[in-house]
Amino acid sequence: MKIVNGKDGLAKEAANYIVEHLKKRDASVLGLATGSTPVGTYKELIAMHKEGKVSFANVHTFNLDEYVGLKNTDTNSYHYYMKELFFSHIDVPEDQFHLPKGTAEDIEAECHTYEKLIRQTGGIDLQLLGIGTNGHIGFNEPGTSFQSRTHVVTLDESTREANARFFDAIEDVPTHAITMGIESILEAKDILLLVAGKEKGEALSELLYGDVREDIPATALRKHPSVTVIVDTEAYQAAKIPGEENLYGG
């Protein structure tokens, strides 16, 4: 676990980690996340790309999730977020980035298609993750089976409330989303989890010290052999149990 100072520290550490990962291989499949936490990381990666330090020409990407029912052009869709905040500023070819299609006519079939595409592309090498205040990863809400694959979910009220800040009103926040499942996430070869802000303290504490259980989806990460956690001091202090070593060596 790496503890960093503030949003800038987190963004730099995470971007450097991703660039180092890419440097070690000719091609890579990245799993990507949205939300507020990785925004700075994408900014930093764009800056590094513009300075010639990294190319995404041989990178394929798969996002964790997308709302059901929002068009790609909707400013609250994750398609829009990824294009605006990352893809349109880097050299990743259009046919190499993927998000679940939340407007697909057959949403269940879309979940299978998405899983298949990930497999056909060789599986995810590095999965970037954020964490919800309730411990969700992707849109896998508390209680989601650790055996879950890409599926449709009904969003928790707490998640809709947390995400309402991006919409005009809470009623506009979609009630459903497509998300990669816990098992799909755990298949990534490496996982990079970013945790920022004191409101994430409790979820971080569960991840570090709590029992592994489906009530707190992020605890599934403890079953994975290669997870790197980058935490800002606010989240770390809010989570810290004095005198206790945690599992990630912080």
Residues known to be catalytic: 65, 134, 136, 141
**How many residues does the structure list for the chain?**
250
Q: What's 147's DSSP letter?
A: T
Q: Which is nearer to ligand F6R, 92 or 99 (CB)?
A: 99
Q: Which is nearer to ligand F6R, 33 or 208 (CB)?
A: 33
How far apart CA 176 and CA 66 sit, in angstroms, is 9
7, two tokens? 């949003």
Query: How many residues interact with ligand F6R (rule CB under 6 A)?
Result: 13
Q: Which is nearer to ligand F6R, 22 or 204 (CB)?
A: 204
Q: How far is the CB of 155 from ligand F6R (least distance, A)?
A: 10
Q: Which is nearer to ligand F6R, 56 or 78 (CB)?
A: 78
Site string for ligand F6R, 124-143 (x = CB under 6 A): ------xxx---xxx-----
Q: Counting contacts by CB under 6 A, is residue 102 touching ligand F6R? A: no
How far apart CA 117 and CA 224 sit, in angstroms, is 22
> What DSSP assignment string belongs to 62-93?
EESEEESS--TTSTTSHHHHHHHHTGGGS---
Place of tokens 């947390």: 162
Cβ atoms of residues 219 and 135 within 8 Å: yes
Site string for ligand F6R, 166-205 (x = CB under 6 A): ----------------------------------------
Strand order in the sheet with 151-154: 65-67, 176-179, 151-154
Q: Find the binding residues for ligand F6R in span 21-80 (CB under 6 A).
A: 33-37, 64-65
Question: Which residues of this protein are in contact with ligand F6R, per CB under 6 A?
Answer: 33-37, 64-65, 130-132, 136-138
